[in-house]
Structure 1
Amino acid sequence: MSYLHDIDPIALELPFWPYGIHWYGLMYVLGFAAAWWLGRRRLRAGRLPGIDENAFGDLLFYGMLGVLLGGRIGYVLFYDLPSFLADPLMLFNVRGGGMSFHGGLIGVMLAGAWWCRKHAMHWFDTLDFVAPLVPLGLGFGRIGNWIGGELWGRLTSGPFGVVFPRAPLGDYSGMSIEQLRVLHATGALDAYARYPSQLLQAFLEGLVLFLALWWFSSRPRPRYAVSGLFALLYGLFRIVAEFFRQPDPQYGYLAFGWLTMGMVLSLPLVALGLVLLWRSRTAPVLGKEGA
């Protein structure tokens, strides 16, 4: 029997704020807090020589702006461009949802470049420092997607199927959660069960990617190596997850009955990761050989 997703996305109701505090927003806070804590540990381990905690605080602030602005702009450009062309103000409709990892990544990279100019740091030394701080935030974000019942997976008849009230439910779409509970108890909703792809992404892109990068970066590595491993593993993990995740409705399957926009956007990351790892073979290690 399937599981009925029945989680309130609002963590805390506030009398002075009609929208309340959503779990998804709290996941962002946890992600930034984790990056701050882990970054301080890496600073103390000498992974970014010459940079103090105040400068790191600036880097984290710029990175936060890069995530938020890049994620939103990237979503609009990659996934909802026609709506933006019809109504440019929809860019600011953040309550309607829509954030892109790939856009957020570009935003972080641009923010890092701006910070590097101020502190005379090599761009990839900074990206290598930041890369291990990112995965936990990605994992928290996917947990936020799960709690919100969004970005669900493809239909499945397997034992791990989940019925998401916000997903298409045929004749049962639009019913209240109370009505859906009654129907689910009879098994009437089992045909609409889907993979909990958000949890798969939280595991791969969050926990597994974090453990791999944290271990790999626990000792000095050549320039480009940590960033390369991040790009390679994230790209591969995202492609795997896309086989279980429902494709974006505005695109569907782009080709072959399985290729999705998420895969297309992740393939360049795989290629970039391989190039960076190859280049790192002859690159200096930060703090050594004049790096």
Structure 2
Amino acid sequence: MSPYFHDIDPIAFQLGPVAVHWYGIMYLLGFAGAWFLGERRRRQGRLPVSHEAFSDLAFYVMLGVILGGRIWYMLSYVSLDWIVHDPLAIVRVWDGGMSFHGGLLGVLLAGWIWSRRNRVHFFDTIDFVAPLVPIGLGLGRLGNFINGELWGKLTTEPWAVIFPGALEDLHKTRAELHQMYLAGQLNGQARHPSQLYEFALEGVVMFTVLYVFSLKPRRRYAVSGLFALLYGVFRFAVEFVRIPDAQLGYLAFGWLTMGQVQSLPLVVVGLVLLWLSRRAPTLQPDPAAANAAPVSTKEAA
């Protein structure tokens, strides 16, 4: 069985001079899916605030994801020369290059600001948001796959993929690479589709586990802790078959990556939050408060 040759156009369609990228569409779908599910759960009283307050939270979180994810990526994974030579690179999100860890920090900051303004306990907010995040996470990984970026290591697995972007040293056009593929000359260049592994783990599995876990009222910190633990473990594991960013390479031991370094603290935080949840109160769903009061002060920080 021949490996799959990645030949997906990252541009979905053109609107005059504007190219609409699949990567951006994935983010829009992620935000939309999280908003609709979040609004449904809000009406169930899982976060006893008004529709307007929830809409504000969704907007804050969206800004936190985009700004935090892009800024952290540009500071952690790219040579800082861009600050002087190409400062506008920070706004070219459509080219790819978003950091989950930066997006998470952005979400936490956004959640803290919103919680303070609406007098809701910070971790009640984060526990509510956590099951929604894997929707965008999974779709973002699909965007990475469509872009043909963040590929994995060489493999002979039957589901392996040949990524033209990983063959730049051959100095061939995409058409020439495709002809080589048809002739069987690129079979040794097949790689793990690590983006799809992350889509499955960080998207499908995390969403399923967190959604089902949060169907019943849980003690404060529990949902957030499970989110942090799962993401930290899944990301750390996938990094073993994913090629590190070329400008960074392996940081130590011939295998440790920046993604793993930044994921380990999440494992620790997740365990700590789960431990704290044992004695924490449980926020009971209150549909009446969510659909009547402008903003709930219940469990205020």
Instruction: State the TM-score bracket (shorter-chain normalisation).
Output: over 0.9
- The answer to whether the 8 A contact 1:169-1:192 is kept is no
Q: Secondary structure at the match of 1:194?
A: coil
Task: Tell me the distance in 2 between the aligned counterparts of 1:150 and 1:275.
Answer: 34
Q: Secondary structure at the match of 2:241?
A: coil
Q: Which residue does the alignment assign to 1:74? A: 72
- The answer to whether the 8 A contact 1:67-1:107 is kept is yes
Say what the alpha-carbon RMSD is for the aligned residues.
1.6
The percentage of counterpart residues that share the same residue type is: 58
Partner of residue 52 from structure 2, selected from 48, 51, 54? 54
User: Over residues 197-227 of structure 1, what are the superposed CA-to-partner deviations in whole Å (9 max), with x where a residue is unaligned?
Assistant: 0000000000000000000100110110000
TM-score after normalising by structure 2: 0.91
Equivalences for 1:1-291 in 2 at 5 Å? Answer: 1-17=2-18, 20-49=19-48, 51-87=49-85, 89=87, 90-171=89-170, 173=171, 175-287=172-284, 291=299
Letter in 1 for 2:72: G
CA pair 44-92 structure 1, distance change in 2 beyond 3 A:
closer
Q: Secondary structure at the match of 1:61?
A: helix
Q: Secondary structure at the match of 2:207?
A: helix
Task: Tell me the distance in 1 between the aligned counterparts of 2:72 and 2:261.
Answer: 14
Task: Tell me the distance in 2 between the aligned counterparts of 1:29 and 1:96.
Answer: 15
Deviates more, 1:74-83 or 1:204-213: 74-83
- Give structure 2 stretches of 5+ with no counterpart: 286-297
- The answer to whether the 8 A contact 2:23-2:96 is kept is no
CA pair 77-190 structure 1, distance change in 2 beyond 3 A:
same
Letter in 2 for 1:137: G
Letter in 1 for 2:246: P
- The answer to whether the 8 A contact 2:24-2:94 is kept is no
Compute the displacement of 1:93 (Å).
3.9
TM-score after normalising by structure 1: 0.94
- Give structure 1 stretches of 5+ with no counterpart: none
Equivalent pairs, count: 285
Compute the displacement of 1:82 (Å).
2.6
Letter in 2 for 1:12: F
Q: Secondary structure at the match of 1:168?
A: helix
